[in-house]
Amino acid sequence: MLIKSNSRGAAREVEVTPEAVYRQRRLIVQGALAGLAGAALPLVSRAQAGRYPGVEPGSPASWFEGHLDQARWEAVTAEGEMLTPYRDASSYNNFYEFGPDKGDPARLAGRMQVDPWSVQVDGEVARPGRYALEDLFSEAQMEERIYRLRCVEGWSMVVPWLGFPLADLIRRLAPSSGARYVRFETLLRPEEMPGVRGRFSLIEWPYVEGLRLDEALHPLSFLAVGMYGRVLPNQNGAPLRLVVPWKYGFKSIKSIVRISFVRDQPATTWERMAPHEYGFFANVNPQVSHPRWSQARERRLPGSLFSPNLRDTQLFNGYAEEVASLYAGMDLRRHY
């Protein structure tokens, strides 16, 4: 259905490309892009190496490599938009467990132990238990999703995630009829996380996020284990993080250790800490301002002081066509 890279014209698929390839290709096609069928253009090599030039592969677990061979690339793209360079996406982060500054996660998350990793599944579900990460995904086919990520702070990126639709996992776990929400929890390991040891932290740990079950089952909801053709760097939420592209970035919880199927709307970290800011839904909406700033525009990374690269923020972060029906009948100015 919605998840077709070229549903709106075959040429679109190739418009989002790795930056180096993009420049090279622009020379080749010279503005003829819009008129060409996607298949006529040279696609980026399907091999991992060279797909994202200059991106180090990291040291992936063997199960990850196995899935990479079968990966479906560019399953969804952000049409016509350039990827944020890997160095920006992996060095400008929010991961408060490692500290409040944008550079803290890249500097400090390396000490987080991510292998082995297991996820506890509980609540209203037919197959509860503690699953090793590789078992959780043993039957899944990895795919690439190029999504916009819009932080509530007013900046945004375009990131090529690698992973699996959340719905695939949920269906395998088989929630019971009592399950109305999915609750996610991040690792809490103070020895490895200087940010949770800070005495001045206002956040109650562990970090918790949640989705309504129908949101979680939406084909755009995604569990990422990699990005830019490689395993996730720790600062981006290794080894498993949620990506919900139509919601503010804080919903996309990192380093998940627990997935619970629950009857009642879970109390989530940001809603508890700052209920006057955004609520449980936190759908991107340019018309609903933060108490201290407008959300009408956003700064697309990398940008600079002289060229902040501003653009208009779109309702549901540009995914309205796909997700608006989830909120039919809801007043988006009140339920945010």
Binding site for Mo ion (CB under 5 A): 94, 151, 249-250
Position with the least CB separation from ligand MTE: 249
- The one of Mo ion, ligand MTE, none whose footprint includes residue 268, by CB under 5 to 8 A per kind, is none
Least distance from C-beta 160 to Mo ion, angstroms? Answer: 19
Angle at 154 between CA 270 and CA 332, to 5 degrees: 65
- The one of ligand MTE, Mo ion, none whose footprint includes residue 96, by CB under 5 to 8 A per kind, is ligand MTE
Is position 181 annotated in a ligand binding site? no
- The one of Mo ion, ligand MTE, none whose footprint includes residue 230, by CB under 5 to 8 A per kind, is none
Least distance from C-beta 125 to ligand MTE, angstroms? Answer: 22
Give the other-Cβ count within 10 Å of 52's Cβ.
23
DSSP 99-164: -SSTTHHHHHGGGS--SS-EEEEEESBSS-EEEEHHHHTTTPPPEEEEEEEE-TTSEEEEEEEEEE
Question: Is the Cβ of residue 119 or residue 151 nearer to ligand MTE in the bound state?
Answer: 151
Question: Is the Cβ of residue 105 or residue 249 nearer to Mo ion in the bound state?
Answer: 249
Least distance from C-beta 157 to ligand MTE, angstroms? Answer: 6
> What is the amino acid identity at position 116?
P
Least distance from C-beta 28 to ligand MTE, angstroms? Answer: 31
Question: Is the Cβ of residue 233 or residue 249 nearer to Mo ion in the bound state?
Answer: 249
Question: Is the Cβ of residue 151 or residue 216 nearer to ligand MTE in the bound state?
Answer: 151
Least distance from C-beta 80 to ligand MTE, angstroms? Answer: 21
Query: Tokens 């699996």 sit at which residue?
Result: 164
Q: Dihedral angle at the C-alpha atoms of 316, 320, 325, 329, nearest 10 degrees?
A: 60
Least distance from C-beta 214 to ligand MTE, angstroms? Answer: 22
Backbone dihedral region for residue 321 (phi beyond 0: left; psi -120 to 50: alpha; all else: beta): alpha
> What is the amino acid identity at position 4?
K
Is position 241 annotated in a ligand binding site? yes
Question: Is the Cβ of residue 111 or residue 127 nearer to ligand MTE in the bound state?
Answer: 111
Is position 4 annotated in a ligand binding site? no
Is position 92 annotated in a ligand binding site? no
Is position 254 annotated in a ligand binding site? yes
**Sheet strands (E) in 176-240:** 181-186, 208-212, 222-227, 230-231
Tokens encoding 295: 């959300």
Is position 102 annotated in a ligand binding site? no
DSSP 243-305: E-TTB-GGGS--SEEEEEEESSPPP-HHHHH-TTT--S--B--TTS-BTTB--SEEEESS--S
Contact positions toward ligand MTE, by CB under 6 A?
Answer: 93-97, 149, 151, 186, 207, 236-237, 249-250, 252-255
Helix, strand, coil: what percent of the chain each, to 5?
25, 25, 50
Binding site for Mo-molybdopterin, by residue number, is 93, 96-97, 151, 186, 236, 241, 252-254
